[in-house]
Structure 1
Amino acid sequence: MMKPLRALIIDDELFAREELAQLLEETGQVTVVGKASHAIEGLKLLNQLKPDVAFLDIQMPQITGIELLTMLDPEHRPHIVFVTAYDQYAIQAFEDNAFDYLLKPVDPCRLNKTIQRLEKHGTVQTEIDKIAPAQLEQIPCSGHNRIVIIASHDVEFAYSDLSGVHIQTATQKATSQLTLKVIEDKTPLIRCHRQFLVNIKAIKEIKLLDNGLAEIITLSGHPIPVSRRYLKALKETLGFH
């Protein structure tokens, strides 16, 4: 007997979450390991629980399901099944690209077909980035018991340490569920150190140090290390050869 699929449901409607969870459990082939009421909570649970499949609502406040796709590392992304109210344009886009989707209210027979497809082949994921935005306009963060949405262009730098990935603007610091790799790939920030990304427009000066190292001072006065590996590329980006 096959091991049940581990599923995460991300939907801002309580009734829709509970109904889908019940339908999934009734199949006997799926274990619902988590439910999220918005994309930021969903991102956190995706990273923590690492489900086999995520049932992702498209229309959610602040960050949509499509925007959430952009925040996921393709190498560690679960299978995605979109859940949507009837929208002919959206559905046509999914069908053209062979994405799996469910219409609200979810039909149990249609859901069973989706489960069977997941068990046999998985969903078609190779084309999924076609509908996700190429760049992140905003970065979801948490700080001081609150959720913060920071515009990407306001970020001076981002860095990782043992406690997570941190985002620094001129006026605030917050922690993000995004990986440095996703931030590097999907925002204007560039790598200056294995653990640091910097916004070129936030650089006030670069101090050249001994042994081919350097230090960036941001517009708000924060020092950021620059390693030998990235110094040449940084100088070239700024027009210094």
Structure 2
Amino acid sequence: MKIRVVIIDDEPLARLAVKVRLAQRGAFELVGEFSDGASAYEGIVTLQPDLVFVDVEMPGKSGLEVLAALPPAQRPMAILLTAYDKFALQAFELAALDYLLKPVDDERFDEALDRAQQAFPYRGPGRAAAPAASTAPAVRSFSVRVGARTVLVPVTEVERIEADGDYATLHAKGKTWLVRERLHNLAMQLDPGQFHRVHRSSIVRLDMIAELRSLTNRDALLRLRDGSVLRASRTYMPALAAALQQLEARSDS
């Protein structure tokens, strides 16, 4: 069964960019596109798509207002598109699957579609999209080959993961372990409530972040509790900022 998609954006070129990318993925079917919030609301109610790409800021009703106006049971999975990162927390409060900054990076776009495919089987008829953290069971340990032995590294001990070509390096309690899997695949297996990809080459456990320092190009430097310093790319910053706020809210409650 294909995932039925609607695109909502007041910029024709932006809609075209999404359509071109969707056409390369056979699991998705475009069923409608809209250029304003009012017609988008009516279109979603009529077409009942599984997934919507929504521009946050449009003339009249904004993308967030369109989603908020829908009853939760009728709210499709949503991937938000915007040139600004200030709406990230609102997006995740509405259970958006992802939040992409324009111009959208190809790799980030593919990640968002992968997340939609991962979440789709867990959406029953008439159910609203659930936050990505609850769409599928997260992996609990990594199986690592060390010579002739197989070692299980608990996810709870992993502090960060870095890309190493077609492999990935786990950093856990002062040790490093090489996993025979790409970083992109690992990112889809981890609980986004605990781990976040911050760069195309690194994933970080959220509670390991001790300091976040914004840079002039909208990237950021992360200082971890073990003293490591990593760069966070602007394309991952909105989702990371929202996740950190949610983590702080959980710890305060």
TM-score (structure 2 length as normaliser): 0.44
The structure with more radius of gyration = 1
